[in-house]
Structure 1
Amino acid sequence: MIVFETERLLVRYLRADDFESFYALCSDPEVMRYMGDGEPLTAEQTRDWIDISKNNYQMRGYGCFAIVSRQDQQMIGFGGLARPARNPYLEIIYAFKKSCWGQGLASEFVKGLLKACFELWHLPRVEATIDPRNQASVKVVEKAGLRFVRSGPDEDGEIILWYAMDQPASLLLEGESL
């Protein structure tokens, strides 16, 4: 199921047949260096993530999605929303194949995701946590309008940057806008 579209991207639910493409991303140390604990995922962890995502779609309507190129219908990344431990707000996550870096695709994805967060799922707030060394992601979230909230240790004691965006007041006044 397509969740949303942008000029160059289709964002859809992950499927079992995405395993090979998803695992290629999740097992790449460079792609995963700023995700979670920074370690690549095993095949079993990747399969579990697809299953967890499917459950999240049924329970919530959102989760981690496949990011597909409109041009050739190939999966070029993943992204969506995660609920980190001890955080009441959902967090933006995303990663792209190295061949797609530097093309503005992350910015395009995050802007589309924020629109879905506030207009489709009516979330009150969305956050992003970023390793300070990941300046590309800092630029992406700032360009999308998230504001810097603070820096400090995460649950593992690693220093991270917190960014956030609250639902725009205009949407709160309008109610349903889709």
Structure 2
Amino acid sequence: MLNRDPYADLPELPTFTLTSEDITDGQPLPTAQVTESLGGSDTSPQLSWSGAPEGTKSYVVTCFDPDAPTPSGYWHWCVSNIPADVTSLDTGAAAQPPQGATTHRTDGGSDAFEGAAPPPGHGAHRYIFCVTAVDTDHLDVEGASPAVVNFNLFFHGIGRAMLTGTHEETED
């Protein structure tokens, strides 16, 4: 595990509050948020946020594993253009995102949430759930990768809230 902070080189943004009925910051993810191939169900967690900065016109929700054995980490979920009046997502909302929202392909090629799936024996991975407040109601990112969506947030992000879960697969 590289143990780097993938947000360290981005502009510092005001923070707001992100909570979940399904995941606890700094704790192992429940089985539902693990990939099916490892006994989970690839279910996106419930998320609620509050205290976004004035001027928020939409949100982007992502889940990123910075510890994946690639130079660029691994995107497990990305939804942009979530309307500003939406301040929570139910468990499993990745399968039915809010009206007007744009889903983006994960690094595994899915438009849905991909659960935790670290290689066996690679150590604990962090899964960073991030909600970014955006200064425009629509980012022109249809068909874009999560990396391109986040590049746009470099210019349009005005606040950030995060929760981090972990998961580890041991070798048999």
Fold shared, TM-score > 0.5 on shorter chain: no
Q: TM-score, normalised by structure 1?
A: 0.29
Q: Give the helix-richer structure, 1 or 2.
A: 1
Q: TM-score, normalised by structure 2?
A: 0.29
Q: Which has the higher contact order (CA 8 A, sep 6+)?
A: 2
